[in-house]
Amino acid sequence: MPAPTVITDTELTGLLKNVYSQFREKVQNLVTPLLAQLEKGRAGGPRNMRWGGNNVFFDVVVGRPSGATFSSAGYFPPDTTATEVQGNVGVVRAYTTRQVDGLAFVGTQSKDAAFTTIAKKTMEEIKDASTLLMQQALHNKSDGVVALIGSVGSTTSITVTSPYGIASAGQGSLLLSVGDYIAVLNNSDNSVRGRSAISAISVSGDNSTLTLSTAIASMAATDKIVKATASDTSFNSAMNGLINITNRGGSYASLHNISASNYGIWDSVRLVAGTDTPDAGQPTESDIWDLIQRIAGRSGKDAMVRPQDFLLMTTPGVGKKLMESMVGQRRFDANEFATTIKGGYKAVNVCGIPLVMDYYVPAGTIYLLHIPSLSWVDAKDWGFVEFEGAGPWRWLQGRDAFETTYGWYGNLAALARNAHGSITGYTDTARYTHVV
Q: What is the mean pLDDT of residues 127-155?
A: 96
249 and 213 housed in the same domain: no
Q: What is the mean pLDDT of residues 64-83?
A: 89
Q: What is the mean pLDDT of residues 174-200?
A: 96
Q: Is residue 88 part of a domain?
A: yes
- Highest mean pLDDT: which of 4-13, 109-118, 123-132, 140-149? 140-149
193 and 257 housed in the same domain: no
Q: Is residue 108 part of a domain?
A: no
- How does pLDDT run across 363-410, given as a tens digit for each residue? 999 999 999 999 999 889 899 888 766 678 888 888 999 898 999 999
pLDDT of 99 above 60: yes
Q: Is residue 68 part of a domain?
A: no
293 and 221 housed in the same domain: no
Percentage with pLDDT > 70 across the chain: 93
227 and 265 housed in the same domain: no
Q: Is residue 71 part of a domain?
A: no
**pLDDT for the residue 252:** 94
CA–CA dist 193, 219 (Å, integer): 7
The structure's pTM equals: 0.89
Q: Is residue 72 part of a domain?
A: no
- What band does 434 get if pLDDT is binned at 50, 70 and 90? low
pLDDT of 19 above 90: no
pLDDT of 421 above 60: yes
- What band does 41 get if pLDDT is binned at 50, 70 and 90? low
- What band does 328 get if pLDDT is binned at 50, 70 and 90? low
**pLDDT for the residue 333:** 52
215 and 259 housed in the same domain: no
Q: Is residue 428 part of a domain?
A: yes
175 and 209 housed in the same domain: yes
CATH assignment at residue 233: 2.40.30
- What band does 28 get if pLDDT is binned at 50, 70 and 90? low
CA–CA dist 91, 56 (Å, integer): 9
**pLDDT for the residue 18:** 78
- What band does 250 get if pLDDT is binned at 50, 70 and 90? very high
Q: What is the 3-state secondary structure (H, E, C) of 178-232?
A: CCCEEEEECCCCCCEEEEEEEEEEEEECCEEEEEECCCCCCCCCCCEEEEECCCC
pLDDT of 332 above 90: no
Q: What is the mean pLDDT of residues 300-306?
A: 94
251 and 358 housed in the same domain: yes
Q: What is the mean pLDDT of residues 225-246?
A: 96
- What band does 417 get if pLDDT is binned at 50, 70 and 90? very high
Query: Where among 188, 204, 237 does a domain terminate?
Result: 237
Q: State which residues form the domain around 187.
A: 143-237
Higher pLDDT, 89 or 114: 89
- What band does 48 get if pLDDT is binned at 50, 70 and 90? confident
Q: Is residue 351 part of a domain?
A: yes
290 and 324 housed in the same domain: yes
302 and 432 housed in the same domain: yes
215 and 344 housed in the same domain: no
Q: What is the mean pLDDT of residues 74-103?
A: 91
CA–CA dist 47, 270 (Å, integer): 24
- What band does 423 get if pLDDT is binned at 50, 70 and 90? very high
- How does pLDDT run across 211-223, given as a tens digit for each residue? 999 999 999 999 9
244 and 332 housed in the same domain: yes
Task: Supply the mean pLDDT for the chain.
Answer: 89
**pLDDT for the residue 422:** 98
**pLDDT for the residue 225:** 98
- What band does 108 get if pLDDT is binned at 50, 70 and 90? confident
Query: Where among 187, 203, 237 does a domain terminate?
Result: 237
Q: Is residue 435 part of a domain?
A: yes
pLDDT of 331 above 90: no
Q: How many CA atoms lie within 13 A of 35 on its CB side?
A: 16
Percentage with pLDDT > 90 across the chain: 63
Residue type, 120: K
**pLDDT for the residue 63:** 86
- How does pLDDT run across 252-298, given as a tens digit for each residue? 999 999 999 999 999 999 999 999 999 999 999 999 999 999 999 99
364 and 251 housed in the same domain: yes
pLDDT of 197 above 90: yes
Query: Where among 204, 237, 270 does a domain terminate?
Result: 237
Question: Of 203-207, 216-220, 239-243, 384-388, which gets the smallest average pLDDT?
Answer: 384-388
Report the domain count for the chain.
2
**pLDDT for the residue 80:** 85
Q: What is the mean pLDDT of residues 187-201?
A: 97
